[in-house]
Amino acid sequence: SQQGEEDPQALSIQEGENATMNCSYKTSINNLQWYRQNSGRGLVHLILIRSNEREKHSGRLRVTLDTSKKSSSLLITASRAADTASYFCAPNSGYSTLTFGKGTMLLVSP
């Protein structure tokens, strides 16, 4: 499995603003998954986008995938303080194992 690289490493915004974080990877994928980790907790799966999909929505989350650029982005609209967490992407080349990067740490201030 390959590792994704999240960018930026840290992001600080105000409640109500949108948050965008990016993920780049190196080789072709079967799907790409995004996870959230709240402080002191395990990772929680947010969304999976397949290689033949370009965009996917789930509530306030919007994920895009550009396989030609080997990149994905996660947009959280109308952020809330409860969105404060670290976010990880996991590009998957068809294996059941995943490799996680260092994540993007998002801080949403009231």
- Site residues, another protein (CB under 8 A): 30-31, 33, 35, 40-45, 48, 50, 88, 92, 94-103
* Least distance from another protein to the Cβ atom of residue 110, Å: 26
Residue 52 or 110: the one with the smaller Cβ distance to another protein is 52
Nearest distance, CB of residue 56 and another protein, angstroms: 13
Least distance from another protein to the Cβ atom of residue 33, Å: 6
Q: Which two tokens stand for residue 5?
A: 């690289």
Cα 98 to Cα 28: distance, rounded to the nearest angstrom: 14
- Please count the CA atoms within 13 angstroms of the CA of 31 that sit on its side-chain side: 12
- What is the C-alpha to C-alpha distance for residues 9 and 17, in angstroms, rounded to an integer? 18
> If you search the block for the tokens 């990880």, which residue do you land on?
88
> Kindly report the CA angle at 74 between 17 and 19, in degrees rounded to 5?
15
Q: Which is nearer to another protein, 17 or 26 (CB)?
A: 26
Whose Cβ is closer to another protein: residue 44's or residue 78's? 44
